[in-house]
Amino acid sequence: MADPFRHPTSGIYHLRRKVPLELRAALGHEFKRSLKTRDPVQAKYEFARAWAESEEAFAAARAELKGVEAISPFDAQQLAGRWFRAEQEKLERSGQFTKMLIESGGGAWECGDHREEWQTFISLREAAEQGEEPPDGDWGGLVTPYVKAALRAANLPMPVAGTLAARRLRSAFEEQLYKLSDWALLRHEGQKVSPSQDLVPLAPLASEQRPKVTMPRRTLMELFDSYSRDKVLNDGDTRGVRKTIDTFHSTLERFIDLMGDLDIREISREVVGRFRAELARLPAKGEGTRKLNARQLIAKADAEELPRLSEPTIRNHLRALSAALSHGVRLQWLDENAVIAGGVGRAAAKAATRRVATSRRRKDYTKKELRTIFGSRIFSEVGWLPERADFGMAWYWLPLLLFYTGARREELAQLHVSDVRKSEEGIWHLSILAVEDEHDGERGVKTENSRRLIPLHPDLLAREFLAYVESLPSGGQLCPGLKPNSRGYYGDNFGRHWSAYLRDVVMLDSPASPMHGFRHTFKTICREAGIPEDVHDAITGHAGKSGVARGYGTMPLRPMAKELAKFPRVADLGDRHPNGG
């Protein structure tokens, strides 16, 4: 199947498909349909539907060539009646009734010194009876464009000339054309004429009458189970995939809690709109909310005036629902994805973008906050570690590694001793899954750009990081105190305790994320220190401005190590950091 064609001027997507040679007499050279959307995702679903219409049209044309009657007498009357009603409405709206009339003789009238000419009109039927010359030399030929347009709209082929079906269509449209012209003449003369009462009642064409199929009831969770299996099959059974599935599962449970356990075909655009509105009423946080259902949470938020879910969070919930519904469309369990078709997802994304743009919350640590963190008890009192959280030396080394590498928490928490390496040039570095090993099924990275080598900062070497590494079993973890949680993530539990340490022991009050704030801080300090962007992008695993260019070659360790030496030591943090404090 081809792809939707995007009009270069309007931006609206279309289906454009060449008609097979043998069918062009009936359907023309190209089958075209507007998909009536500028959204590329929605266009894919509309494109599939339009493609099916083209297949139906081709099948009907092939049947016509084989002598199978594609248009019955009933269909001919229906098509002509539909055309009559549509044209009548157009004329009534525009008031230009003379479009359906023939110019006839006129006259003149005099008033004083003025002489005015006037033109009279007659209907097509009257003109034919009086022997008037038709506009194109053929009275019946007037209906041909209308017949073609009506057949195109119904995905039906033009009958072969001279066949019974062709004569039947021409006769039906010619009669309706005369009736329409008679009516237009009366309206042009100012008479109030009700719409024609003798048209055949509207009814489906034979091609539109499909047997009703009773579809089994399918719940949202049934659909999600299928989506989950498909995602694992396509993307692999990785920690990242499992995390996405768990997150999406929570969203769909929330949907059922708020909207009921609906059949997926009942999840309409209106239902999705109400779901978004209900999400906006839920509290973002609050004591004693874990065991409450959605309605109880909303009541608690109303009573205690708790902060509500943010626009980005609401957008993420809608994305999860949309992913499941899109899977339903692909399976043909659903006709449309109501999140996309109703524009709710797009509106939520726009609101989230606006919220992020206006909030501008600081994401990195200031120099004062960094001095407070690295001057706290873990780093200043030898042997002191928080109680009730036995993470060993991860308390000391993990924050320092985060600060000096800009890596993500999980990238470092999952490292093995063997991931600390020395290059042929003698440069000590970390390997963030840069090469495959037998443990890769237990670990993961966010993107392929995240697979990289990171040189060790001189301050880490000065703090005897290598001696720490040598003290560990060669086949074990770099931070053996970090154990994977139920989803396989090594850093989650540590992250929660680190946050509590900053809050309760260090008494730090910062808008920066307790651990991810180090990644933002690393980028900020790199820019201030004059480290080239392509170098600190390579260190942090960012794609950079030109993802294509980054795909060629690799960033060598030597220039990375040379530039990283410009990054200030914790002990030297001073006024050079742009965020003062």
Same domain for 345 and 430, yes or no, is no
pLDDT for the residue 70: 66
pLDDT for the residue 34: 87
Strand 452-455, strand 13-18: pairing: unpaired
Tell the residue number behind the tokens 């010194």, with chain if given: 113
pLDDT for the residue 423: 93
Strand 420-422, strand 13-18: pairing: unpaired
Q: Coil, strand, or helix at residue 255?
A: helix
Do the beta carbons of residue 578 and residue 520 sit within 8 Å? no
Residue 272 CA: distances (Å) to CA of 69, 259, 265, 321? 44, 9, 12, 9
Same domain for 430 and 453, yes or no, is yes
pLDDT for the residue 467: 95
Same domain for 269 and 353, yes or no, is yes
Rounded Cα distance between 407 and 522, Å, is 9
Q: Coil, strand, or helix at residue 388?
A: coil
Per-residue pLDDT at 561 exceeds 90: yes
Instruction: Give me the mean pLDDT over the 109-121 stretch.
Output: 59
Do the beta carbons of residue 427 and residue 455 sit within 8 Å? yes
Per-residue pLDDT at 32 exceeds 60: yes
Nearest to 78 by CA among 151, 161, 157: 151
DSSP character at residue 19? P
DSSP element (H, E) containing 324? helix 311-330
148 token code pair = 């073609």
Between 351 and 561, the more confident residue is 561
pLDDT for the residue 549: 46
pLDDT for the residue 441: 58
pLDDT for the residue 111: 54
Asked if the structure places residue 426 within a domain, the reply is yes
Same domain for 97 and 54, yes or no, is no
Tell the residue number behind the tokens 């200043």, with chain if given: 380
Nearest to 71 by CA among 200, 201, 207: 207
Asked if the structure places residue 110 within a domain, the reply is no
Ranges assigned E (strand) in 419-460: 420-422, 428-432, 452-455
Confidence class for position 116, pLDDT limits 50, 70, 90: low
Instruction: Give me the mean pLDDT over the 406-426 stretch.
Output: 93
Instruction: Give me the mean pLDDT over the 143-169 stretch.
Output: 81
Same domain for 307 and 244, yes or no, is yes
Instruction: Give me the mean pLDDT over the 383-404 stretch.
Output: 90
pLDDT for the residue 286: 67
Residue 362 CA: distances (Å) to CA of 120, 359, 368, 511? 77, 9, 14, 6
Confidence class for position 427, pLDDT limits 50, 70, 90: very high
Q: What is the pLDDT of residues 33-85, one digit of tens each?
A: 888 888 887 787 788 778 877 877 787 777 666 666 667 888 888 899 999 99
Rounded Cα distance between 520 and 522, Å, is 5
Per-residue pLDDT at 412 exceeds 90: yes
pLDDT for the residue 375: 92
Q: What is the pLDDT of residues 211-229, one digit of tens each?
A: 555 567 889 999 999 999 9
Last residue in a domain, options 330, 359, 388: 359
Total count of domains within the chain: 4
Asked if the structure places residue 385 within a domain, the reply is yes
Rounded Cα distance between 485 and 467, Å, is 28
pLDDT for the residue 292: 85
Instruction: Give me the mean pLDDT over the 502-523 stretch.
Output: 92
pLDDT for the residue 579: 42
What values do phi and psi take at 148, rounded to 5? -60, -45
Rounded Cα distance between 464 and 400, Å, is 12
Percent of the chain predicted with pLDDT > 70: 86
303 token code pair = 């009573």
Per-residue pLDDT at 318 exceeds 50: yes
Asked if the structure places residue 577 within a domain, the reply is no
Last residue in a domain, options 359, 381, 404: 359
Rounded Cα distance between 342 and 11, Å, is 19
Residue type present at position 372? T
Q: Coil, strand, or helix at residue 134?
A: coil
Q: Coil, strand, or helix at residue 351?
A: helix
213 token code pair = 């199929």
Between 117 and 560, the more confident residue is 560
Last residue in a domain, options 333, 359, 385: 359
DSSP element (H, E) containing 153? helix 144-153
Residue type present at position 500? A
Rounded Cα distance between 485 and 501, Å, is 20
Same domain for 423 and 531, yes or no, is yes
Greatest CA separation found in the chain?
119
Same domain for 390 and 509, yes or no, is yes
Mean pLDDT in the chain?
Answer: 84
Asked if the structure places residue 205 within a domain, the reply is no
Q: Is the pTM of this model over 0.75?
A: no
Q: For residue 167, what are the domain limits? A: 73-105+115-195
Rounded Cα distance between 416 and 393, Å, is 14
Asked if the structure places residue 333 within a domain, the reply is yes
Confidence class for position 245, pLDDT limits 50, 70, 90: very high
| Candidate from 98-102, 244-248, 367-371, 463-467 with smallest mean pLDDT | 98-102
Rounded Cα distance between 519 and 420, Å, is 20
Tell the residue number behind the tokens 């590498």, with chain if given: 405
Asked if the structure places residue 581 within a domain, the reply is no
DSSP character at residue 477? B
Tell the residue number behind the tokens 């960012």, with chain if given: 542
Q: Give the rounded distance of the alpha carbon of 405 from its chain centre.
A: 33
Residue 199 CA: distances (Å) to CA of 80, 85, 248, 306? 9, 9, 53, 62
Rounded Cα distance between 293 and 201, Å, is 52
Same domain for 248 and 306, yes or no, is yes
Q: What is the pLDDT of residues 253-300, one digit of tens each?
A: 999 999 999 999 999 999 999 999 999 999 987 666 777 888 888 888
What values do phi and psi take at 110, rounded to 5? -115, 140
For the domain that residue 519 is a member of, what is the CATH number?
A: 1.10.443
Same domain for 431 and 508, yes or no, is yes
DSSP element (H, E) containing 41? helix 40-65
Rounded Cα distance between 5 and 9, Å, is 12
Confidence class for position 151, pLDDT limits 50, 70, 90: confident
Rounded Cα distance between 178 and 162, Å, is 22
Same domain for 283 and 389, yes or no, is no
Same domain for 377 and 498, yes or no, is yes
3-state secondary structure 350-409: HHHHHHHHHHCCCCCCCHHHHHHHHCCHHHHCCCCCCCCCCCCCHHHHHHHHHHHHCCCH
Per-residue pLDDT at 127 exceeds 90: no
For the domain that residue 266 is a member of, what is the CATH number?
A: 1.10.150
Same domain for 378 and 430, yes or no, is yes
Asked if the structure places residue 53 within a domain, the reply is yes
Nearest to 324 by CA among 257, 276, 253, 240: 253
